[in-house]
């Protein structure tokens, strides 16, 4: 008897990830708990110049670290797509300041850069890969993965990956997303949509995670427009952070294949032309889904077509046409 490939597989929660805290204002209680449980002696904040210069968020986190006598230093030289030069400088600061944990603040670049810093620091000194606490301010969802993308010396996208690179703690505090520029916030929401859609046909993704992806797609379609109408609605922003989480649910499995063509194109475009990944997803996702109507397996096309009920859109009666309708819905 032959059964669908989605009905057999494996799922394991990441060994390194101790928990995800979420809710407006949660950073004030969640961060001290994580620092204590992870044995923090000194923490390095890894972030961007814009978050330091244009918001009070980094000062707020510094204050919490100082109150618990674990503040080491703040490194703010992480650029878009995490250039390797900044990562090397951060490794040096991490080592020389005697830190044993990183608190990343921001979007995908600080989060991935922090993973790379911990990876290269471990290569230099040996021992275990030290922990990261991720505090995202966008919807890019880099905090849920075991890989770290960065830009190498040749301007090309490179990557390190290990189950030990998954952040040890994640804090989803919607209050901290309020200063995020609208273009960045909404485009990274499309990035999360890209994750959710491409996970539907990604090899090795467990069936329950695909169900979460459908819920993520529904919420992203519902709440991204609502967030554009009222950017100060914290409840909507919190719902979007949870949708981002569902879009690429963390796992310790290294058996999953790479995310699909939309992501591959985005990595090439982003590194070569300095385009943020949220914007590349805006450019690539809908055309890739349209192409899937012609090129994907029947099982994967049916999986994509099942997006329509979550968008309250009636089926056309044709699987191929339904996949095309999903593509059109992304561009509306």
Looking at the fold, whether 133 and 213 belong to one and the same domain comes out as: no
Task: Looking at the structure, tell me whether residues 57 and 102 fall in a common domain.
Answer: yes
* pLDDT given for residue 149 in this prediction: 83
Burial class (CB in 10 A: 0-12, 13-18, 19+), 332: exposed
Dihedral sign from CA coordinates of 272, 273, 276, 282: negative
pLDDT at 1: 59
Same-domain status, 71 and 84: yes
Residue 158: predicted pLDDT:
87
Q: Do 195 and 308 reside in the same domain of the chain?
A: yes
Residue tagged 């600080």 (tokens)? 110
Residue 4 within a domain: no
pLDDT tens profile 215-250: 999 999 999 999 999 999 999 999 999 999 999 999
Residues 134 and 162 placed together within one structural domain of the fold: yes
Q: Are residues 139 and 32 in the same domain?
A: yes
Kindly state whether residues 202 and 307 are assigned to the same domain.
Answer: yes
In sign, the C-alpha dihedral spanning 75, 79, 82, 85 is: negative
Q: What is the pLDDT of residues 265-317, one digit of tens each?
A: 988 888 778 888 899 999 999 999 999 999 999 999 999 999 999 999 999 99
Predicted local distance difference test score (pLDDT) of residue 257 = 58
What token pair was written down for 209?
A: 């995670």
| 172 and 24, same domain (yes or no) | yes
What is the reported pLDDT for 256? 60
Identify whether residues 33 and 173 lie together within a single domain: yes
Q: Is 6 a member of any domain?
A: no
- In a domain, residue 2? The reply is no
**Last-in-domain residue among 126, 155, 177:** 177
Residue 57: give its domain's CATH number: 3.40.50.1970
Regarding whether 322 and 192 lie in a shared domain, the answer is yes
- Domain containing 210: what range? 182-331
Query: Residue 4 to residues 7, 24, 118: CA-CA distances in angstroms?
Result: 6, 41, 39
For residues 194 and 325, membership in a common domain is answered with yes
Residues 110 and 204 in one domain: no
Q: What pLDDT score does 277 carry?
A: 85
Tokens of 149: 């993308």
Block means of pLDDT (10 residues each) for the chain, 332 residues, are: 73 90 98 98 98 97 98 93 90 96 96 96 92 98 92 86 95 99 98 97 92 98 98 99 96 71 88 85 96 94 98 98 98 82
CATH number where 238 lies: 1.20.1090.10
Q: Domain tally for the chain?
A: 2
């Amino acid at each position: 008897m032959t059964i669908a490939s989605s009905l057999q597989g494996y799922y394991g929660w990441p060994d390194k990830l101790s928990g995800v805290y979420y809710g407006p204002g949660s950073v004030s209680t969640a961060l001290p708990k994580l620092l204590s449980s992870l044995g923090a002696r000194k923490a390095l904040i890894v972030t961007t110049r814009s978050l330091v210069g244009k918001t009070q968020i980094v000062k707020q986190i510094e204050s919490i670290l100082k109150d618990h006598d674990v503040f080491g230093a703040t490194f703010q030289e992480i650029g878009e797509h995490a250039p390797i030069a900044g990562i090397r400088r951060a490794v040096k600061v991490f080592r020389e300041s005697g830190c044993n944990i990183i608190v990343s603040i921001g979007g995908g670049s600080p989060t991935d850069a922090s993973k790379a810093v911990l990876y290269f620091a471990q290569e230099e000194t040996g021992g275990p890969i030290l922990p990261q606490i991720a505090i995202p301010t966008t919807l890019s969802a880099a905090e849920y993965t075991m890989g770290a993308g960065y830009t190498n010396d040749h301007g090309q996208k490179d990557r390190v990956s290990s189950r030990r690179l998954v952040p040890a703690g994640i804090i989803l505090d919607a209050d901290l997303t309020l200063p995020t520029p609208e273009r960045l916030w909404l485009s990274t929401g499309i990035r999360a949509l890209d994750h959710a859609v491409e996970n539907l046909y990604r090899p090795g993704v467990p069936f329950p995670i695909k169900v979460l992806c459908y819920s993520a797609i529904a919420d992203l379609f519902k709440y991204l427009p609502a967030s554009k109408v009222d950017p100060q609605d914290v409840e909507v922003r919190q719902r979007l952070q949870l949708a981002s989480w569902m879009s690429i649910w963390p796992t310790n499995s290294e058996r999953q294949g790479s995310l699909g063509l939309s992501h591959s194109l985005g990595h090439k475009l982003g590194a070569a032309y300095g385009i943020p990944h949220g914007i590349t997803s805006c450019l690539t996702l809908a055309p890739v889904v349209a192409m899937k109507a012609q090129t994907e397996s029947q099982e994967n096309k049916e999986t994509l077509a099942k997006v329509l009920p979550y968008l309250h859109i009636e089926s056309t009666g044709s699987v191929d046409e339904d996949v095309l309708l999903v593509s059109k819905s992304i561009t509306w």
